[in-house]
Copies of this chain bind each other. A is one copy, B any other.
């Protein structure tokens, strides 16, 4: 583009690297920022710089927090003996929004993927084994995504934890609340049928 100032063009390119924003929507977003320079752009730049500086991966669980230990690991009320294994911080946030889980988490940081050279060590699995041995864990809940990669990883973890004697569970599969059968894939319907309960 000929006459867009260089620093605006660079901003558009960086914005276009965010998920959900292509080059076109990045331009639109930057134009909104340009119109709201004081009310939105400056505070957003400030918030981003602040988080970039302060965010830390929790050395215990892999959650993102403001220090070396995240708020959940630091909260003694969450030492319930239940450890919920998730793929990503996004999944931890989703579990927390539900508010149903009172224990602690272990964030793997992905799924096993031999082709991409993602092995157990990359995924904080050794750390998981250590925590199970050290933190008085009675149950490990495998809350991995219901994808092939997620389930492969879940099976691997169940295998390596087998000798520890800890209870290993996983989230129930079925029709989501409010889910319309017509919009569900066949696998979900099949799994829900298999796990059917007396009405």
Interface residues of A (CB under 8 A from B): 1-5, 7-8, 10-11, 14-15, 17-21, 25, 27-34, 37-38, 40-52, 54-55, 63-66, 70-72, 88-90, 93, 96-97, 99
Contacts of A31 on B, CB cut-off 8 Å? 88-90
Contacts of A7 on B, CB cut-off 8 Å? 47, 50-51, 54, 66
Q: Give which listed residue, B3, B41, B93, contacts A96 with CB less than 8 A.
A: B3
Secondary structure at chain A's binding surface: helix, strand, loop or mixed? helix
A33–B8 CB distance below 8 A = no
Q: Which residue of B is nearest A25, CB measured?
A: B20
B4–A18 CB distance below 8 A = no
Beyond A7-B47, A15-B44, 5 extra complex contacts between A and B, CB < 8 Å: A1-B93, A3-B71, A5-B55, A30-B51, A33-B51
Contacts of A1 on B, CB cut-off 8 Å? 93, 96-97
With A and B bound together, what is the CA distance between A187 and B44 in angstroms? 41
- Say how far A109's CB is from chain B's closest CB, in angstroms: 9
